[in-house]
Amino acid sequence: MGKAVAALALQRGHGIHTVLDSSDNAGGRALTRERMVGCDVAIEFTRPDAVVSNLERLIDLGIPTVTGTTGWSDALPRIAALVKERRGGLLHAANFSVGVHLFLRAARELARSFSGRPEFNASIREEHHAAKLDTPSGTALLLQQRLGDSDGLRSFPITSVRAGSVPGTHTLTYEGPHETVSLSHVARDRQSFAEGALTAAEWLPGRTGVFTFEDLLFGEIV
């Protein structure tokens, strides 16, 4: 993701201040005031075991930060408190594709339509490339939460598949005794994620608080 975002940033006329990887930034050690001076915004795509210390340091330095790393939601309340305390800016999203967020809205509508119909069973299936570290995907968990908000009487179990180089596929299925209804989002490559993250990085500076990509896209969740 870092490479995709960097390539797009240059195409859009931005300068790249610093690129860090695990060899120079273990434990967030490269995120010092000296090294980051002059940086307007940070875009963080790393790994579940690296993201939290990166966010702590970036917030401490007062650098608005966009992160797309998944698998750290347990630490979000602590990070959000730090952002508030330092009057910083953080935008986090498990998925930066516009299509996924429209899919989530359509899925909520579908859940409302199927509520009160126990003859249908609902399920979520997500597929990602074999190197993805967290399971289920952050997007599948978000979908599950939103569906639960729309139909609290039904469970939405998740099946995860890790195979090949699939960028990301999420499918909501309702199985009835004699029929199937399904709604899918298929990411064909990583470009939509990179575009969303960069748009977020253009939007965030000057704002204080903790935001999601939905705040940027829709203003509020409806």
Please report how many Cα atoms fall inside a 13 Å half-sphere around the Cα of residue 216, on the Cβ side. 26
Q: Output 10 or 130, the one with its CB closest to ligand NAP.
A: 130
C-beta closer to ligand NAP: residue 10 or 133: 133
Least separation in angstroms between residue 198's CB and ligand NAP is 11
Residue 128 a catalytic site member: yes
What distance, in Å, lies between the first and last C-alpha atoms of the chain? 29
Contact segment (CB under 6 A) with ligand NAP among 15-23, 80-88, 108-116, 175-183 equals 15-23
Here the tokens at position 71 are: 């698998």
Measured at the CA of 56, the angle between CA 51 and CA 57, to 5 degrees, comes to 100
Write down the number of H helices and E strands in the chain.
8, 8
Residue among 132, 170, 178, 185 flagged as catalytic = 132
Contact between 22 and ligand NAP (CB under 6 A)?
yes
CB 213 within 8 A of CB 101: yes
198 binds ligand NAP (CB under 6 A): no
Please report how close the Cβ of residue 25 comes to ligand NAP at its closest, in angstroms: 3
With residue 170 as reference, give the H or E element that holds it: strand 168-175
Which residue's CB atom is positioned nearest to ligand NAP?
A: 68
211 lies in the site for ligand NAP, by CB under 6 A: no
Examine the residue annotation and report whether 92 is marked as an active-site residue of this protein: no
For the chain, the 3-state helix, strand and coil shares in percent, each to the nearest 5, are 40, 20, 40
Q: Residues in contact with ligand NAP, total (CB under 6 A)? A: 23
Asked if 93 touches ligand NAP (CB under 6 A), the answer is: yes
- Residue 55 and residue 80: Cα distance in Å, rounded? 10
Chain positions contacting ligand NAP, by CB under 6 A: 1-2, 20-23, 25-26, 45-47, 50, 54, 68-71, 93-96, 132, 193
Give the residue numbers marked as catalytic: 128, 132
